[in-house]
Amino acid sequence: MIKITSVKKNEYFSLMKIEESIFEKHVFTDKLKTYFNEGPIKIWKISTTKIIGFVIFYHIQDEVEIIQIGIIKPYQRKNYGTLIINKIKKLNIKKIFLEVSVKNSKAINFYLKNGFKKIGIREGYYEGSKYKIDALRLLFEF
């Protein structure tokens, strides 16, 4: 059975390991802990018999901003990411915003397939190893 539920404090360590296995840059490894108690920030996990992915997002009034979403490698491209997006869409919201590296074509395709539209570019938003990388701003609107 596939479940999408809120992450509990005692799952922090597992989540940190999952983040490390999915992302080169572990933006949240240090910070994740502090997010557990912050009201508008939500952390959900998707699990079968084990945790296979997670999403971190802000939920303020009728808007969501996705900060980070990841599915572990062997489970990618099997619709799990889409299940997470669909569950977020069921919140009582009007818009979902996010930013993604212009170089992350897999993720961009994933969001476009899930109905997001390109709304702009943030120049030099991410630190690359040699130079800065632009971010694509995407929006899903009901």
Tokens of 56: 């971190």
Min dist CB 83 to ligand COA, Å, is 7
Q: Does 100 bind ligand COA (CB under 6 A)?
A: yes
Burial 40-70 (b: 16+ CB within 10 A, else e): ebbbbbbbeeebbbbbbbebeeeebbbbbbb
CB of 59 to ligand COA, least distance (A): 17
Give the residue, chosen from 28, 44, 54, 110, that forms a contact with ligand COA under the rule CB under 6 A. Answer: 110
Say whether 111 sits in a helix, a strand or coil. helix
Piece of the chain touching ligand COA by CB under 6 A; list 8-16, 100-108, 120-128, 129-137: 100-108
Encoded tokens for 84: 């997470």
104 near ligand COA, judged by CB under 6 A:
yes
- Which residues sit at the interface with ligand COA, rule CB under 6 A? 22, 69-71, 76-82, 100, 104, 106-107, 109-110, 113
